Structure 1
Amino acid sequence: MNCSTLVYEHLAIFASVTYGIFFVIGTIFNVFALWIFCCRLPKWTETTVFMVNLMMADILIVLTFPFKLYALLAPWELGYKVCEMLIRIYFTNTYMSIFIITAISCDRYLAICHPLKYKGWRTPMKASLVCAVPWTLLLIINIVNTAQQENGNLTTCFVKVRTEPSEWNLVSSLAWFLPSLVLISFFSVKILKTLRDSITLDSKDRRSFRKAINLIIANMVIFVVCFFPVHTAYIVRYLADSTNASCHTINHIQVFIRVSTLLSNANCVLDSVCYYFAAKEFWEAVSKRKQRFQKFRSCCTS
């Protein structure tokens, strides 16, 4: 069964303006950040590898925004296959972005909480392998799903009109997003505790550590605000479809999905800004703590 999806005029206008802004700013910021990390840094580190992969995923997401805008303002006339390809690009890179943000949190945790114990684990080559695994996994999933997908006729895109429960929405929320949320929360709490314990009376060091603490909190808040509502909406929609909810109820849920999707898309713009400016302050704090730890260790062993 299909439910015709209502698009409220004020929501359509707001979404149109938002997608236009996200596309322009997201493209500029992410391309600039990608240029900085690829061309202006003296050498590649594990942080550089993660950041380049994150920017690439975000750029691919941003490139789908003009098509989202088109689908919002006019009947879809680009065909089923184009719509299917764009949806796969959007969701593949969204979950790749979530994975890399989780990997960055893990890398920070190892660097600040265990600066010497796991030093050999943190290399650009290993970071590349960490990124290659989910890219490959998501590519295989898309190839398999594409081979099983049947053609169809569409009048709209990026909107679920069929009321059959979508297992992908449930799996992506519970098996991909939820573990990432738990891990990022764990790493962030551990890092914050370690940084706060490392703050000294030295005013210069204290400023660096406090900046790093504020940035960790900001990253965590941005991740939760951007991704938690939309995955909650996916689960609610799955439950509504599974219980044969009325089209009236499904339409209201779809409005919730549209609004929460706008929030999740904001992450593509915020990533480039937040992680680019976070790098300097955070790694300054890491360097200071590592030097202090090495001095302490040398005193104990001498």
Structure 2
Amino acid sequence: MNCSTLVSEHPPLQILACITYVMFFFIGTIFNAFALWIFCCRLPKWTETTVFMVNLMMADILILLTFPFKLYALLNPWDLGHTVCIMLTSFYFTNTYMSIFIITAISCDRYLAIRHPLKYKSWMTPMKASVVCAIPWTLLLITSIAKTAQEKNANSTTCFVKVNREPSEWNLAFALAGFLFPLVLISFFSLKILKTLRDQITLESKDRRSFRKAMNIIIANMVIFVVCFSPVHTAYIVRYLADSADASCHTINHIQVFFRVTTLLSNANCVLDSVCYYFAASEFWEALSKQKQTFPKCRSFCIS
């Protein structure tokens, strides 16, 4: 049994989605392209952090490129073909979870740089950071294609919408392994970093402001991650439970409304990443450079 009447029966959701897709596409593309230009063209040399941030911007830009197609699927019966739908949906899933992975990697990068600077400097290089990013790109793409191909049914008039009633173990797995596990890691790394930065605040007002700015950015990044990604993964779990319990189409459609709204919220991360991580690149390393007396041997690393 299919439940595929969601879009046509909720015009307010259509209006909200249209506004957010258009707004996020233009603002997000401009912000991310500008940030990508800064990292690629204005920095004298690339560090491990630069590699992670450039990959994050690329993932966000690739997500943004699917928005015109998501808007088209929202306003029209899908007539671009089954294969195109699989490709676009896989593209969206791959880059969404790649974005989550890189945010986690950046948190780990910061944690190791500030808590174990000497060991980290001797081990991590920009090339190794590139490999760390390349592996999940490949694995996520393969997994997303398998997920989309398995769940897509013969209904060729919809795309980006789950219309069958089979419980999706894929969605449950993505919610647990693709969100909850990274959330635990990011929380751990962020709390450790905040504790270290707090302990390093000096009595000089200029230094204190630098450390507090870095701490505020870390807190903001954590809040943005939780606010953007928690609701949509909650929706994944709720939909899985509803399908497992063979809930009515009325209930499923209400869950789909919740899922659509939370998906729009998660898309805001594409815009916010470019702002937060651009400032984090300067403020965080500025704060780390204040520790040259604590870690004199890693001064060049901390300032880079």
| TM-score band w.r.t. shorter chain | over 0.9
Residue 65 of structure 2 aligns with which residue? Answer: 63
Cα shift at 1:121? 2.5
Match runs of 1:72-83 below 5 Å: 72-83=74-85
Cα shift at 1:75? 1.3
Cα distance in 1, alignment partners of residues 105 and 137 from structure 2: 13
Cα distance in 2, alignment partners of residues 110 and 148 from structure 1: 39
The answer for unaligned runs of 5 or more in structure 2 is 299-304
Residue 37 of structure 1 aligns with which residue? Answer: 39
Deviations 1:175-194 (A, max 9, x none): 12111000000000000111
Cα shift at 1:278? 1.2
The answer for unaligned runs of 5 or more in structure 1 is 298-302
Q: For the structure 1 residues 262 and 43, does the alpha-carbon distance in structure 2 shift closer, same or farther, using more than 3 Å as the test?
A: same
Cα distance in 2, alignment partners of residues 146 and 16 from structure 1: 24
Cα distance in 2, alignment partners of residues 43 and 121 from structure 1: 18
Partner of 1:116, secondary structure, is helix
Say if 2:231 and 2:262, in contact at 8 Å, map to a contact too: yes
Query: Which amino acid is the alignment partner of residue 159 of structure 2?
Result: C
Cα distance in 2, alignment partners of residues 94 and 196 from structure 1: 32
Q: What is the aligned counterpart of 1:252 among 254, 258, 265?
A: 254
Cα distance in 1, alignment partners of residues 23 and 157 from structure 2: 25
Say if 1:199 and 1:209, in contact at 8 Å, map to a contact too: yes
Cα shift at 1:296? 10
Cα shift at 1:149? 7.8
Q: For the structure 1 residues 217 and 149, does the alpha-carbon distance in structure 2 shift closer, same or farther, using more than 3 Å as the test?
A: closer
Say if 1:37 and 1:48, in contact at 8 Å, map to a contact too: yes
Q: Is residue 5 from structure 1 mapped to residue 1 from structure 2 by the alignment? A: no
Residue 285 of structure 1 aligns with which residue? Answer: 287
Query: Which amino acid is the alignment partner of residue 135 of structure 1?
Result: W
* Regions of 4+ moved over 4 Å: 142-151
Residue 24 of structure 1 aligns with which residue? Answer: 26
Percent identity, please: 79
Partner of 1:244, secondary structure, is coil
Deviations 1:63-91 (A, max 9, x none): 00011111111211111111111100000
Q: For the structure 1 residues 143 and 230, does the alpha-carbon distance in structure 2 shift closer, same or farther, using more than 3 Å as the test?
A: closer
Normalised by the length of structure 2, the TM-score is: 0.93
Q: Is residue 268 from structure 1 mapped to residue 270 from structure 2 by the alignment? A: yes
Count of residues in correspondence between the two structures = 296
Q: For the structure 1 residues 296 and 275, does the alpha-carbon distance in structure 2 shift closer, same or farther, using more than 3 Å as the test?
A: closer
Aligned-residue RMSD, C-alpha: 1.8
Partner of 1:117, secondary structure, is helix
Query: Which amino acid is the alignment partner of residue 285 of structure 1?
Result: A
Residue 300 of structure 1 aligns with which residue? Answer: none
Cα shift at 1:141? 2.5
Cα shift at 1:133? 1.4
Cα distance in 2, alignment partners of residues 247 and 150 from structure 1: 18
Cα distance in 2, alignment partners of residues 151 and 296 from structure 1: 59
Q: Is residue 209 from structure 1 mapped to residue 214 from structure 2 by the alignment? A: no
Query: Which amino acid is the alignment partner of residue 280 of structure 1?
Result: S
Deviations 1:255-287 (A, max 9, x none): 000010011100011111110111100001112
Query: Which amino acid is the alignment partner of residue 247 of structure 1?
Result: C
Deviations 1:35-77 (A, max 9, x none): 1111111111101100111111111100000111111112111
Match runs of 1:132-147 below 5 Å: 132-142=134-144, 144=146
Residue 117 of structure 1 aligns with which residue? Answer: 119
Say if 1:107 and 1:122, in contact at 8 Å, map to a contact too: no
Say if 1:5 and 1:254, in contact at 8 Å, map to a contact too: no
Cα distance in 1, alignment partners of residues 118 and 202 from structure 2: 21
Say if 2:2 and 2:163, in contact at 8 Å, map to a contact too: yes
Cα shift at 1:155? 1.3
